[in-house]
Amino acid sequence: MANIKSQKKRALTNAKKNLQNTAEKSRLKTSIKNVIKAVEAGNKEEAVKAFNTCNSLLDKAVCEHIKHKNYAARQKARLAKLVNSL
């Protein structure tokens, strides 16, 4: 642990932000899995709904610098291809 007061505070805020980022990444992965699961079940309405939710989460992750914009674009294209295959 650091000795300087500002570094102690920084360590605490970094730990807090790390938990928030981890939760956001987990939520994003879950939404991607929900799209894939709906496509495998052949449920088009459910897949489109999950796809729209996933797109907004991907955009949010890019805005908050949690994921890179190319990652988001790749996932959107991949999932769109899956949903359009129904």
pLDDT at site 2 = 82
Q: What angle do CA 32, 21, 76 make, to 5 degrees?
A: 30
Mean pLDDT of the chain: 96
The predicted-structure confidence for 34-66, as pLDDT tens digits, reads as follows 999 999 999 999 999 999 999 999 999 999 999
- Percent of the chain surpassing pLDDT 70: 100
pLDDT at site 44 = 94
pLDDT at site 43 = 93
List, in order, residues 6 or more apart from 76 with CB less than 8 Å away: 55, 58
